[in-house]
Amino acid sequence: MSNFYLCLLLAGLCILSSSYHMPRHQGGHSGHEHRADDQPSAESHQNSSHLPGLKIAPNSAEFAFKFYRQIASKTPGKNIFFSPVTISTAIMLVTLGAKGTTLDQMVSGIGFNQSLFSKKEIDDGFCQLLQLLNRHKAEIELSAGNALFSTDRFPLKQEVVDKARNLFQADIVHTDFQNGKEAVKQINSYIEKNTHGKLVDVLKDLDPETAMVLVSYIFLKGYWEKPFSLENTQKKDFFVNNKTTVQVDMMRRDGYYYTYHDKELACEVVRVPYRGNASALFILPEKEKLNQVEQAVRREALLKWEAGAKERRVDLSLPRVLLRTSIDAKEILQELGVTQVFTDQADLSAFTDKSSLKISKVVHKAFLNIQENGTEAAATTVIEIVPTSLPPVVTFDRPFLFMIVEHFTRTILFLGRVVNPNDH
């Protein structure tokens, strides 16, 4: 029996950025405003720790770092930006049609030991995670979703359709893959619409024998809680490496931030909050220590930074960043042990009775834009009163890491490395 193909398209989009939760203590300095609805309290986290969406967060974080380290080792000196949550969600969508070793490898590859988690627990976790990410938020735009493009030539089993809709909020879209150009146009239009026009022409072509295309996307648009002033942005040197220096638009702001100096990992950590339920976590390795930090950063490091972070006044400088990235996620997943689903031995028979299937490609595209305010709509005036004494200076003028995590679910939405802010 001949093989037909399933294609995964993963779209991650962030206007500005976001991060892992660090505490916001009550009180604070003059000019700081703490809102009760900013993020859940420690008590609310404890009371909701049994929720499926929160239960899977530690495993999802470990998958994010493993995936990052694989990319980093293959692309030294390059910018990195991707959405681990779209990758793991897309893989979970594929598991609805998988059996046997094919299923086991995919679940294990995204960080779950089935002796500790039942398949239902993992499904329920991702189901609730999507619900939580898509809940209405007045101060931050965040949406995540999925789609399954299928054809009458390979009718899907009703059980798969129901689970895709109910568990993963997936749109089921009829597509004629025999008309390749129209199918590509249809899928690209779906991605462009759901990423608000920032990711276009993600899919270039389709194999004539394509049976299904799965799309997973996420969109985030945030506004800094305390915007940078355009008047303070100046051209500054950014030291890409020992031999290369580029001029960048460096944003600057004197204010209060939660920071942590990690002597063990040799890096400075600064959390820059958004209005609403997210923050940007910027990690600046000491000179010549980038690789050391990349290899060492894990969920345990985030917990340490969270526990030890202190609010202090900082003269902070960050470059404007505009990144468009593309990753061959298939290769990385294979290195993480997800192999059979890409071969003729793949068992995706729970999808359809018509033919055997395997995944032919996994395309991941992402977009990041870090600016002073985020968008022109952020027309707010913020006045923060600070002492006149000189604060410590933290300048991100060399390669750094950053993360984007939603606070309540503690889910890493995006993860990246900026080596050259000018390399779009």
Of 114, 120, 112, nearest in space to 88 by CA: 112
pLDDT for res 136? 66
DSSP state of 97: T
pLDDT for res 24? 38
Strands 356-370 and 3-15: parallel
Q: Where are the domains of the chain?
A: 3-17+46-222+323-369, 229-318+394-418
146 and 219 Cβ atoms separated by less than 8 Å: no
Q: What are phi and psi of 75, to 5 degrees?
A: -130, 60
Hey, which CATH number is domain 3-17+46-222+323-369, 3.40.50.150, 3.30.497.10, 3.40.50.300, 3.20.20.60?
A: 3.30.497.10
The whole-chain average pLDDT of the chain stands at 82
Structure pTM?
A: 0.86
pLDDT for res 238? 97
Q: Which pLDDT tens digit goes with each residue over 100-110?
A: 999 999 999 99
pLDDT for res 195? 86
The domain 229-318+394-418 belongs to what CATH superfamily? Alpha-1-antitrypsin, domain 1 (2.30.39.10)
Q: Is 224 exposed, middle or buried (0-12, 13-18, 19+ CB in 10 A)?
A: buried
Same fold, 3-17+46-222+323-369 and 229-318+394-418: no
